[in-house]
Amino acid sequence: MRFNYQLFLILILGAFHTHAQDLLTIPSPKNLKQTDSVLVFKPQQNNLEKYPVVYLLHGHNANYKSWSKLADLQKLANQHQFIVVCPDGLKKSWYLNSPNKDSLQYEKFFLEELMPTINQKYKIDSKNVFITGASMGGFGAMFMMTKYPHLFAGAGSTSGVLNLRYSAFRKTTIAYLIGAYDDQNKAYDDYSPVNNVQALQGLDKALIFDTGTEDYLYITSRQFRQKCDDLKIKATYIAQPGGHTGGYWSKSILRHFEFFAEHLKK
């Protein structure tokens, strides 16, 4: 049997396309003082005029590749017809603007550089932009949602730091960004999503958040749920066995994608 090199090449290229992803590099000399790497997963079938997008934020000390090691993001993009964007949170940016002007201004990077780049390069449905993440990324997602609700159709948080006063990093990386931790430093309250959820009152947003019952941050999700209940904000809250681990997030994040897809069907 003669080897068909042309057929072999077609099969190889086809297999590569199936799992293809884009790696973007976005220079940010002013806001980040460095270049940010971003992984983008696109649905294999390119048959829609515009696509909903999910910004997927990683946790502390992780990077833009971390989520792709925890979940099959290409499969999720194909299954739900989402464009999935995984930016690099630079290990400990907390996705916010530091009052320290010599520090990172990640929030400005996200709004002024990352989102415009994604909107320019891809066919994005601007009415259906979602954001979610784990731990530090869960904080970032709900922080962005409560501060800029007009930009997002929904948000999620899995094991998120929804109250900065409970974070294990409140005296280290968070203190570097917003000041030394103490009871009088109001910044820890002002930046915490649990204290800003009222911004979502009366809005029809798709909100989902969860934490494992063995997670030390379980209390922050309970506080967030109570605030949503008090303000009559519709949100899906999940409490289930699990700790603050990648193994937990690899399962919990699947429900976030399903939830966002269900919202679109409505």
**According to the model, what pLDDT value does residue 178 have?**
97
Cβ(79)–Cβ(50) under 8 Å? no
DSSP 96: S
Find, among 155, 148, 127, 150, the residue nearest to 55 by Cα: 155
Distance CA 120, CA 138 (A): 26
Distance CA 151, CA 262 (A): 19
Cβ(22)–Cβ(85) under 8 Å? no
**Confidence band, pLDDT 50/70/90 cuts, at residue 175:** very high
Which H helix or E strand runs over 148? Answer: none
**According to the model, what pLDDT value does residue 103 have?**
87
Residue 2 has pLDDT above 90, yes or no: no
Distance CA 30, CA 56 (A): 23
Cβ(210)–Cβ(255) under 8 Å? yes
pLDDT, tens digit (0-9, with 9 covering 90-100), for 216-230: 999 999 999 999 999
**According to the model, what pLDDT value does residue 246 have?**
98
**Bridge partners, 44 (sequence order):** none
Single pTM value for the model: 0.92
β pairing state of 83-87 and 34-41: antiparallel
pLDDT, tens digit (0-9, with 9 covering 90-100), for 146-159: 999 999 999 999 99
Domains defined for the chain, CATH in brackets:
21-265 (3.40.50.1820)
Distance CA 58, CA 38 (A): 12
Residue 209 has pLDDT above 80, yes or no: yes
pLDDT, tens digit (0-9, with 9 covering 90-100), for 76-123: 999 999 999 999 999 999 999 999 877 899 999 999 999 999 999 999
**According to the model, what pLDDT value does residue 20 have?**
61
Distance CA 83, CA 125 (A): 10
Cβ(257)–Cβ(54) under 8 Å? yes
User: Per-residue b/e over 125-151, b at no fewer than 16 CB within 10 Å?
Assistant: beebbbbbbbbbbbbbbbbbbbeebee
Q: Which two tokens stand for residue 132?
A: 């979610």
CB atoms within 10 A of CB 229: 11
pLDDT, tens digit (0-9, with 9 covering 90-100), for 14-70: 333 445 699 999 999 999 999 999 999 999 988 899 999 999 999 999 999 999 999
For the chain, what's the residue count? 266
DSSP 46: -
**According to the model, what pLDDT value does residue 102 have?**
78
Find, among 34, 25, 192, the residue nearest to 104 by Cα: 34
Find, among 113, 184, 199, the residue nearest to 152 by Cα: 199
Find, among 204, 156, 147, the residue nearest to 56 by Cα: 156
pLDDT, tens digit (0-9, with 9 covering 90-100), for 132-150: 999 999 999 999 999 999 9
Q: What angle do CA 55, 26, 252 make, to 5 degrees?
A: 20
- Cβ-based burial of 238 (10 A; exposed 0-12, middle 13-18, buried ≥19): middle
